[in-house]
Amino acid sequence: MGALKGTDTNMDQTPHNSQPPGGASLFAAIRSAAPDGSRVFIRDVAGHRLTYHEMYAETARIANCLVAAGLRPGDRLAVQVEKSVTAILVALACMRAGAIFLPLSPAYTLAELEYFLADAEPSCVVVQPGKQSSIGSMLAGKAAILTLDSGGKRGSLIDGTRGMPDSIHDVPRTADDLAAILYTSGTTGRSKGAMLTHYNLVSNALTLRDLWRFTRDDVLLHALPVYHTHGLFTATNTVLMAGASMVFLPRFDAELIFAHLPGCTTMMGVPTFYTRLLADPRLTREAAAHMRVFISGSAPLLPETHREWFDRTGHAILERYGMTETNMIASNPYDGERRAGAVGYPLPGVDLRVVDGGTGEALPDGEIGMIELRGPNVCKGYWRKPEQTAETFRGDGFFVTGDLGRINADGYLEIVGRAKDLVITGGFNVYPREVEFEIDAIPGVVESAVIGVPHPDFGEGVTAVIVRKRDVELSESVILEALRERLAKFKLPKRVVFRDVLPRNAMGKVQKNELRNIYRDLYVNS
């Protein structure tokens, strides 16, 4: 049946789902994982570096400053700052103080912030100096406010750390205590805060360290944002649990990537990192020869990108699958086949099943259904949203991902797309990924997104939005002709439209909502 335990697969690992070594808190786990404090933890592009010892001292000073500002164990610390080394130290300091870290994208507007701050009720907020007065007046004295500039070098938080002791008694946390609340990007309704425990973070990071073979000799090239789980936890905590090191780029920038790649051994990125690097002639076999592994996630990696990357560099990208609410769920194997278009096996300790979304019955292997999982990585629920929490967990504790997928005969999981992106046309289900796959294989196509758009006859009309290669003549009729012999009639797009680019968010996810909105009148009067 379509159910797998991470330990049933060929991932010969011990699941980290018992109390982690050295105590339950993330920081206690870091200390026991990185006993050699003289090693470098982090380096920025200006060449500044911090050893583990220096990181311990610096996070203690920041934690002492936050405590002095009124942050108590169990309080929320909301942080809306640009990426910097200090920003990551603030997250660690927050957890040392026993408080709950609440990162917010710098792109959020004041109106959006108002919702998050009212929902989370932080006792302390850290913002860029330019936003202090507007956010300060919104908080109306209900929370302390501190500032940190975009370089992470100035602001009242930094001033406040001067003279603070460089040690602190880490507030003990049980495995069940919250380490962070991460608001999910929720495209419908309001964002919900996923409540992540220390145990969720520690167990997942130890598992990833072992699975992806991170050791203290690794140097990770870190170009991801740190308000999202990928850069904040997946990348950073895997490094920390190995006592390894990372080069912290302020953002993805091909110049910076090629400048720093030679000093690194690993990179984690979203698929757009890989497609952009492929477009750069500096990406050669020699440039990547010293690298140990390239890892991709947060959005589907096109099989084409996987193959091109392998041809250019000799490296098979290791694709994995995860969510804000669950940390990492599944991964292609380190040693076995890293399969294009698949996300591999459930992680050790994760029970995963594919079920009929309506009945909840497990489906046979190969059939498409809702992906559900249970394991030490899954969050406790949504902050102050008991109803949404109850809707997202089954009675037996399985978390409903909202992603559709299937388990192949050899146990590899394939993601087909979000359930809400499923197109229902004339009563038939069309899985966009299946159609996108065929479109992407047509010569001259760069990428595609298949969406359902209101249709007077069919309910929804299958609609293909395509980006074609520059200087290539590709018309709607050519695409439809090519698809006709590959897809059943009901799956064929009713219309094909061309665009220069697909709208994506910062994590590289195609914004299908936006596309549905743009093309919502396509079939009006048709």
Binding residues vs ligand AMP (CB under 6 A)? 184-185, 229, 297-300, 319, 321-324, 343, 401, 403, 415, 418, 507
Shortest Å distance, C-beta 505 to ligand AMP:
8
How far is the C-alpha of 82 from the C-alpha of 149, rounded, in Å?
A: 8
- Residue 330 CB, nearest approach to ligand AMP (Å): 8
8 A C-beta contact, residue 294 and residue 314: no
Contacts of residue 303, defined as CB under 8 A and 6 or more positions apart, other chains included, come to 340, 341, 437, 440
Q: What is the DSSP string of 46-63?
A: TS-EEEHHHHHHHHHHHH
Residue 91, sorted as left (phi over 0), alpha (psi -120 to 50) or beta, turns out to be alpha
| Shortest Cβ 299–ligand AMP spacing (Å) | 5
Q: Which is nearer to ligand AMP, 144 or 195 (CB)?
A: 195
When the beta carbons of 341 and 360 are compared against ligand AMP, the nearer one is 341
In single-letter form, the type of residue at position 3 comes to A
Closer CB to ligand AMP, 67 or 465, in the complex: 465
**Taking CB positions, which residue lies at the least distance from ligand AMP?**
324
Q: Which of 477, 493, 367, 497 is nearest to 436 (CA)?
A: 493
| Residue 356 backbone phi and psi in degrees, to 5 | -70, 120
CB-nearer residue toward ligand AMP: 403 or 460: 403
Q: What is the 3-state secondary structure (H, E, C) of 467-506?
A: EECCCCCCCHHHHHHHHHCCCCHHHCCCEEEECCCCCECC
CA pair distance 412, 332, nearest whole angstrom: 8
Q: How far is the CB of 324 from ligand AMP (least distance, A)?
A: 3
CA 28/CA 172 separation, integer angstroms:
9
Query: Residue 124 or 373: which CB sits closer to ligand AMP?
Result: 373
Pairwise CA distance, residues 84 & 75, whole Å = 23
Closer of 15 and 300 to ligand AMP (Cβ): 300
Residue 170 or 372: the one with the smaller Cβ distance to ligand AMP is 372
Closer to ligand AMP by CB, 266 or 401: give it.
401
Q: In angstroms, what is the minimal distance from the CB of 311 to ligand AMP?
A: 21
Task: CB nearer to ligand AMP: give 124 or 317.
Answer: 317
Residue 78, H or E segment = strand 76-80
As measured in angstroms, the least distance from the Cβ of 281 to ligand AMP is 27
Sole residue written with tokens 């992407």: 440
Q: How far apart are CA 494 and CA 482, in angstroms?
A: 14
Whole-angstrom distance, CA of residue 452 vs CA of residue 465: 11
Distance in Å, CB of 194 to ligand AMP, minimum: 8
